[in-house]
């Protein structure tokens, strides 16, 4: 069996180049001014573009009939893109985009996308994770594959390696979280049968790491491992479902007679979980960060009830809640987390 440290190597693999050597695409900018007044603010735009990157920039007067566009010359394998844009004192109007003077990141992404993925990429609709619809569908398809191996009691690094082997995508690992790929800590929950994306997100979350689909310019879509506290958008541990909870997790609504008296909360969870076919995941990161005490004793009055209501009652006493979510393939699972949302 491959060593779990191999996951770290995935992020370091450099794809072999083609036997045909192609020159890198060249991007040039022509900024057009309307009248002599444009000469007053043109130097500011030249200075601004220099902050964006090493691009050849030219300022000239606008000709009749000209419009913002990207002209492509050169060859198919070594293209030259000439970006024609109109500048005012505070704004540049380009093909399919506008940027204010000072928006270095915005213009940089625009030009890098053009250089890496061509003119078509500038007009493609960008959505979640700054991916196109086609790209996000492809990522979702790969992360929807169910895992066929056990997770409980296995080292985190080995689980991550098996997940990477399953989804067949390139990875990048930020230096601040590289430790997770080598972690020998045993994972406490069984997630066999759930989708790769949900398992990835859950395992990483316990270590404060996020899974982020990303499309670098000119390269295939990859999965980046980054610090959860420094990342706004990341692959979630499950999704809200439009299905009826009883259809998604019917065993949670099985009627039974129950009485729980002065019992530690963790014992309640551990007693109910094995009785369910629905996987149960616990948000250890949120509990640790907010100081939730799973040793707190809880009481559920005697009577007829069902598992979901029993858990709702017991968890609320300890500052917790549970939600029925679905994984990337639509399978239901129970997510136990803090009553107050924690990122």
* Domains in the chain: boundaries: 26-124, 132-230, 245-338
Q: Both tokens of residue 150?
A: 């056990």
| Residue ranges with strand state E in 108-187 | 170-173
pLDDT, tens digit, 9 for 90 and up, residues 30-64: 999 998 989 999 999 999 999 999 999 999 999 99
pLDDT, tens digit, 9 for 90 and up, residues 160-174: 999 999 999 999 999
Q: What is the CATH number of domain 132-230?
A: 3.55.50.30
Q: What is the mean pLDDT of the chain?
A: 93
Residue 248 pLDDT greater than 70, yes or no:
yes
In this prediction, residue 19 has a pLDDT band, given cuts at 50, 70 and 90, of: very low
In this prediction, residue 214 has a pLDDT band, given cuts at 50, 70 and 90, of: very high
Identical fold, 132-230 and 245-338: yes
Residue 14 pLDDT greater than 50, yes or no:
no
What φ, ψ does residue 304 adopt, rounded to 5°? -80, 135
Give the per-residue pLDDT at 1.
47
Q: What's the average model confidence in pLDDT over 312-333?
A: 98
Name the percent of the chain lying above pLDDT 70: 94
User: 197 and 211 in contact (C-beta within 8 Å)?
Assistant: yes
- Only one residue has tokens 């929950």, namely 189
H/E stretch holding 56: strand 56-61
Give the per-residue pLDDT at 153.
97
Distances (CA, A) of 79 to 40, 121, 185, 218, 308: 33, 15, 49, 13, 60
Give the per-residue pLDDT at 227.
98
Give the per-residue pLDDT at 20.
46
Give the per-residue pLDDT at 3.
53
User: 86 and 68 in contact (C-beta within 8 Å)?
Assistant: yes
Give the per-residue pLDDT at 226.
98
pLDDT, tens digit, 9 for 90 and up, residues 134-163: 999 999 999 999 999 999 999 999 999 999
Q: Both tokens of residue 9?
A: 């190597």
In this prediction, residue 23 has a pLDDT band, given cuts at 50, 70 and 90, of: confident
Spatial distance between the Cα atoms of 321 and 338, rounded to a whole number of angstroms: 6
Give the per-residue pLDDT at 58.
96
Give the per-residue pLDDT at 8.
43
Residue 310 pLDDT greater than 90, yes or no:
yes
Q: Domain 245-338: which topology?
A: Phage tail protein beta-alpha-beta fold (3.55.50)
Name the percent of the chain lying above pLDDT 90: 92
Across the beta sheet with 209-214, the strand order is 170-173, 222-227, 209-214
H helices then E strands: how many in the chain?
10, 14
- Only one residue has tokens 């100081």, namely 291
User: 170 and 222 in contact (C-beta within 8 Å)?
Assistant: yes
Residue 233 pLDDT greater than 60, yes or no:
yes
User: 75-114: b or e for each residue (b if 16 or more CB lie within 10 Å)?
Assistant: eeeebebbbbbbbeeeebbbbebebebebeeebbbbbbbb
């Amino acid at each position: 069996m491959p060593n779990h440290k191999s996951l770290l190597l995935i992020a370091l693999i450099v794809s072999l180049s083609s036997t045909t050597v192609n020159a890198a695409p060249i991007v040039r900018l022509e900024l057009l001014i309307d009248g002599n007044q444009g000469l007053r603010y043109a130097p500011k735009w030249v200075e601004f573009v220099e902050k964006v990157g090493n691009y050849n920039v030219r300022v000239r007067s606008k000709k009749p009939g000209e419009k913002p566009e990207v002209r492509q010359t050169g060859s198919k394998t070594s293209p030259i893109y000439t970006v024609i844009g109109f500048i005012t004192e505070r704004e540049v109007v380009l093909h399919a985009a506008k940027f204010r003077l000072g928006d270095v990141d915005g213009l940089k992404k625009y030009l890098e996308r053009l250089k890496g993925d061509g003119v078509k990429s500038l007009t493609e609709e960008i959505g979640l994770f700054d991916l196109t619809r086609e790209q996000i569908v492809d990522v979702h398809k790969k992360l929807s594959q169910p895992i066929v191996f056990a997770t409980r009691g296995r080292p985190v690094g080995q689980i991550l390696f098996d997940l990477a082997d399953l989804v067949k995508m390139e990875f990048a690992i930020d230096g601040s979280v590289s430790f997770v790929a080598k972690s020998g800590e045993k994972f406490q929950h069984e997630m066999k049968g759930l989708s790769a994306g949900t398992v990835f997100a859950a395992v990483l979350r316990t270590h404060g790491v996020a899974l982020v689909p990303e499309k670098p310019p000119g390269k295939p879509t990859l999965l980046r491992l980054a610090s959860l506290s420094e990342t706004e958008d990341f692959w979630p541990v499950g999704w809200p479902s439009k299905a009826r909870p009883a259809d998604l997790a019917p065993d949670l609504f099985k009627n039974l007679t129950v009485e729980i008296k002065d019992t530690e909360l963790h014992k309640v969870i551990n007693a109910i979980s094995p009785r369910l076919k629905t996987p149960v995941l616990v948000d250890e990161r949120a509990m640790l960060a907010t100081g939730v005490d799973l040793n707190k004793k809880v009481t559920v009055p005697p009577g007829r009830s069902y598992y979901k209501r029993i858990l709702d009652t017991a968890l609320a006493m300890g500052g917790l809640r549970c939600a029925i979510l679905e994984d990337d393939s639509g399978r239901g699972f129970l997510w136990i987390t803090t009553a107050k949302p924690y990122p």
